[in-house]
Amino acid sequence: MRDAYLVGAAQTDFGSFPDESYRSLFRTAFEATRDSVPAGIDPDDVDEAFVGTLGVGGRQLGLSGPAVTEHVGLDGIPCTRVENACAASGFAGRHAVQAVKSGMADVALAGGVEIMTDTSSDATKYWLGVSGETEWERLSGTTFAGVYAQMADAHMEEYGTTSEHLSRVAVKNHGNGAKNPHAHLGFECSLEDAENAPVVADPLTLYHCCPTTDGAACALVVSEDVVDRYTDDPIRIAGVGAASDRVGLFQRESYTSVPASKEAGQQAYEMAGVTPDDIDFAEVHDCFAIAELLAYEDLGFCEPGEAGPLVESGETELGGERPVNTSGGLKSKGHPIGATGAGQLVEAFKQLSGTAGDRQVEGATRGLTHNVGGSGGAAVVHVLERESETEVDA
Amino acid sequence: MRDAYLVGAAQTDFGSFPDESYRSLFRTAFEATRDSVPAGIDPDDVDEAFVGTLGVGGRQLGLSGPAVTEHVGLDGIPCTRVENACAASGFAGRHAVQAVKSGMADVALAGGVEIMTDTSSDATKYWLGVSGETEWERLSGTTFAGVYAQMADAHMEEYGTTSEHLSRVAVKNHGNGAKNPHAHLGFECSLEDAENAPVVADPLTLYHCCPTTDGAACALVVSEDVVDRYTDDPIRIAGVGAASDRVGLFQRESYTSVPASKEAGQQAYEMAGVTPDDIDFAEVHDCFAIAELLAYEDLGFCEPGEAGPLVESGETELGGERPVNTSGGLKSKGHPIGATGAGQLVEAFKQLSGTAGDRQVEGATRGLTHNVGGSGGAAVVHVLERESETEVDA
């Protein structure tokens, strides 16, 4: 089982781009990714591609993978569209690792793209209304905000988590996003802003919800046999884990935990031979503020019920012991469904290569990315570590 | 790089099933697949699943992989939806092989499911109208039949291929499908039926086009380390190949060849260490009759331009030198988009395990499956071989 390495990763600006197509966005992300490889890379070196997108609604319905890779000059290579809702390109990343470990590829691209702000066609409007589960959730009128609101409610009831805890997630992530030039909502927000914002789905206010976003992101995964061609400072994908679960929240035993996240995290820690304490920073799936709190608990950053106090303590802030969502997270950086998982790998790459600018985590050696599909029907976790012992410039 | 084996594969009836859901169809296919494993299999042994489906339109929009695996008791395992249009579950099969070869799974499920005959929602109607490429083909009114008609036209013009050659594909495949109890259109047709049928897209008549179909199919891929648990008569997945191409036909250099098929075939032959001459039987992607003729040429069963004479010679008939589409193919067995590639693996499994009944190819030792997405934007080929030297019962 060969080792896999992340040698480059980059994204477009995340935002609302009525003049862009999914092809043009993917191209921008791919070209920036190519340029992010320390020793450069010839696109002809890419053996295989995985493209994450939910991508319906007025756009390419089938074959949306090859439709974007052909546009960036990756003609002819095996290309597969991967879709696990909001975890699409997190899974694309994992399958790039599998392709490399299988010996069938030396260089695999994992990318993602989504256009969400164009609601001009009926199909898009329809699509934006989907929830995690069709038969019993969507057709009963439940939205994603509604599903996560139920999880927030249950966490408040069971552990005494407060609206202020949720708002602190928003304040932290907007603070980080304000330092990220690619962020969709790159402005700061105050605790009062978050607390006093209109309610979307009680108890979640507008600031407890991520935006709908356009954007693309890519990551390049290579085998141990070729990594030296591309970098002197290798970042190893030390662990990957993935799991699925009942798609409908109503079918799960608990509303205060996401078992797929827990399982994916445990697999990734085990493969990497590390524990949660060894993680210096993390990008977690904060589609709603409660999701970040659940992630703290499911990934072992704190005990069940302790996520509210943890965010309050400042430990997960930039400058804290283990910063979470230094990119701004889905909340502030934005959440272009299919691009989100690859976007998390972009931030991990930046942190571990010392190129995160004002958001740089000092001495970042090992990071984690955590990407969830639906309300927890699928989850994927990567543990990445910098092999060189030279300190990154902070 | 560990070897991968096919230890079980089965499908639902293919047809029009207004009372079935994608979940119920998948369950039928999964349970039959479990039962097809010679020594049986515990569902808990399954480490990972890949589900191919285009699956939009009134049904589960995202997370359709976990939505079907949860319904068959495969809770918790990593499950990824794979979509490459009509090649969705052919690619699912390839990724199951990658997962096994990577060492990350010992038992991987590759399945596919589609419901195409329900056109009750606007989204489904919209979806059924899609062609390979959105911007320049679909939005100009081009359908898949139209795209393949252009390929047929070009082949006739360049090589003198005739309508009768196309009709002979239909006659052969309906003859085979009439022997397949799972076939959607399991009846024979005569040359006159095919020739005199209404024109769908000139020069293609109704009998030159496959039906739209509901159905599901699954295949179980295992590593060399565990294969002995499941069978005494192992079928090795000796070669896999895949490629992509320009999604729009108008962007390709030739209309008389599908380069992605050629490339995928060459990769698979090379990995298996065989040549086209070593293939005893093949399931090829005959969404339209011309597609089967192109496959003969692209897969090296004959020289370019010789496919018409080849089908006329009877070599690809049951009882001929190298039977093609013994299952009935997409034409007669049916073409439930996401289930088609896995359905091809089902026929290969039956042939190589000597369970193909009236369609059994005598002495079948090595078979090939060939699954195309769109009009050639993606293609995937598997070469499978029976390791035991004992003759299968014919």
pLDDT in tens, A58-85: 567 788 999 999 999 998 999 999 999 9
Chain A residues with CB under 8 Å of B61 CB are: 54, 56, 127, 130, 134
| Residue B260 one-letter amino acid | A
Contact call for B62 and A373, based on CB within 8 A:
yes
With a CB cutoff of 8 Å and minimum separation 6, the contacts of A201 are A143, A145, A146, A148, A149
pLDDT at B186 over 90: yes
Q: Which value, to the nearest 10 degrees, does the dihedral of the CA atoms of residues B345, B346, B349, B351 take? A: -110
CATH number belonging to domain A4-121+211-385: 3.40.47.10
Q: What is the arithmetic mean of pLDDT over A17-31?
A: 95
Which of B86, B218, B287, B302 is labelled catalytic? B86
The predicted pLDDT at position A62 comes to 83
Contact call for A70 and B95, based on CB within 8 A:
no
Q: Which of B61, B81, B132 sits opposite A84 (nearest CB)?
A: B81
Return the residue in B98, B137, B144, B298 with the most chain A beta carbons within 10 A, the one to mutate for interface testing: B98
CB B111 within 8 A of CB B217: yes
Least Cα separation, residue A86 to chain B (angstroms): 8
Contact call for B380 and A99, based on CB within 8 A:
no
pLDDT at A153 over 60: yes
When pLDDT is cut at 50, 70 and 90, the band that residue A117 belongs to is confident
Least Cα separation, residue B8 to chain A (angstroms): 22
Q: CA nearest B17: which of B218, B183, B213, B287? A: B213
ipTM for the predicted complex comes to: 0.96
Chain A residues with CB under 8 Å of B60 CB are: 133-134, 247
Q: CA nearest A2: which of B344, B210, B358, B103? A: B103
pLDDT at A238 over 90: yes
B92 vs B129, higher pLDDT: B92
When pLDDT is cut at 50, 70 and 90, the band that residue A253 belongs to is confident
Q: How far apart, in whole angstroms, are the C-alpha atoms of residue B372 and residue B133?
A: 14
Query: Beta strand pairing status for B378-386 and B235-244?
Result: antiparallel
Q: CA nearest A96: which of A65, A56, A72? A: A65
Chain A residues with CB under 8 Å of B103 CB are: 1, 101
> What is the per-residue burial (b if ≥16 Cβ within 10 Å, else e) of B94-110?
bbbbbbbbbbbbbbbbb
The predicted pLDDT at position A60 comes to 74
pLDDT at B131 over 90: no
The predicted pLDDT at position B394 comes to 46
CB pairs under 8 A between A and B: 212
Contact call for A66 and B244, based on CB within 8 A:
yes
Which of B155, B285, B335, B370 is labelled catalytic? B335
Least Cα separation, residue B387 to chain A (angstroms): 22
Contact call for B70 and A246, based on CB within 8 A:
yes
Q: CA nearest A57: which of A142, A131, A119, A130? A: A119
With a CB cutoff of 8 Å and minimum separation 6, the contacts of A219 are A6, A8, A9, A33, A93, A96, A109, A110, A111, A342, A345, A346, A349
CATH 3.40.920.10 corresponds to the domain B4-121+211-386? no
In DSSP terms, B373 is beta-bridged to: B378
Least Cα separation, residue B197 to chain A (angstroms): 30
Q: What is the arithmetic mean of pLDDT over B261-287?
A: 98
DSSP category for residue A233: S
Q: Count other C-beta atoms under 10 Å from residue A233's C-beta.
A: 14
Of A142-146, A185-189, B102-106, give the lowest mean pLDDT range: A142-146
Locate B21 and state its tokens. 């859901």
SS3 of residue A5 by DSSP: strand
What region, left, alpha or beta, does residue B120 occupy, with left being phi > 0 and alpha being psi -120 to 50 degrees?
alpha
Q: Taking the domains of chain B in order of start, what are their residue ranges?
A: 4-121+211-386
Query: Beta strand pairing status for B199-201 and B204-205?
Result: antiparallel
Residue linked to tokens 């004992």: B390
pLDDT for B222-252, tens place per residue?
Answer: 999 999 999 999 999 999 999 999 999 999 9
The predicted pLDDT at position A394 comes to 46
DSSP category for residue A266: H
pLDDT at B60 over 60: yes
Nearest CA in chain B to A241: B78
SS3 of residue A205 by DSSP: strand
Q: CA nearest A238: which of A2, A46, A77, A73? A: A2
Residue B212 burial by Cβ neighbours in a 10 Å radius (0-12, 13-18, 19+):
middle
Q: What is the arithmetic mean of pLDDT over A145-158?
A: 97
Q: Which value, to the nearest 10 degrees, does the dihedral of the CA atoms of residues A218, A368, A114, A258 take? A: 150
CB A244 within 8 A of CB A260: yes
Contact call for A259 and B126, based on CB within 8 A:
no
Q: How far apart, in whole angstroms, are the C-alpha atoms of residue A269 and residue A273?
A: 6
Asked if B184 is an active-site residue, the reply is: no
Residues of A annotated as catalytic are 86, 335
Percentage of the residues of chain B whose pLDDT score is greater than 70: 95
Q: CA nearest A292: which of A174, A128, A384, A186? A: A174
Q: How far apart, in whole angstroms, are the C-alpha atoms of residue A33 and residue B263?
A: 27
CB A364 within 8 A of CB A355: no
Chain A residues with CB under 8 Å of B378 CB are: 63, 65-66, 78-80
SS3 of residue B204 by DSSP: strand
Q: Count other C-beta atoms under 10 Å from residue A275's C-beta.
A: 10
- The verdict on whether omega for the bond into residue A304 sits within 30 degrees of 0, i.e. cis, is no
Q: How far apart, in whole angstroms, are the C-alpha atoms of residue A151 and residue A170?
A: 17
Q: Which of A62, A103, A127 sits opposite B101 (nearest CB)?
A: A103
With a CB cutoff of 8 Å and minimum separation 6, the contacts of A212 are A116, A117, A128, A335
Return the residue in B244, B245, B375, B382 with the most chain A beta carbons within 10 A, the one to mutate for interface testing: B244
pLDDT for A1-17, tens place per residue?
Answer: 899 999 999 999 999 99
Q: How far apart, in whole angstroms, are the C-alpha atoms of residue B58 and residue B250?
A: 31
Least Cα separation, residue B242 to chain A (angstroms): 5
A390 vs B353, higher pLDDT: B353
Alpha helices in chain B (DSSP H): 22-36, 64-69, 88-101, 122-128, 144-159, 163-177, 191-196, 227-230, 259-272, 289-298, 307-313, 329-332, 340-352
In DSSP terms, A90 is beta-bridged to: none
Asked if B218 is an active-site residue, the reply is: no
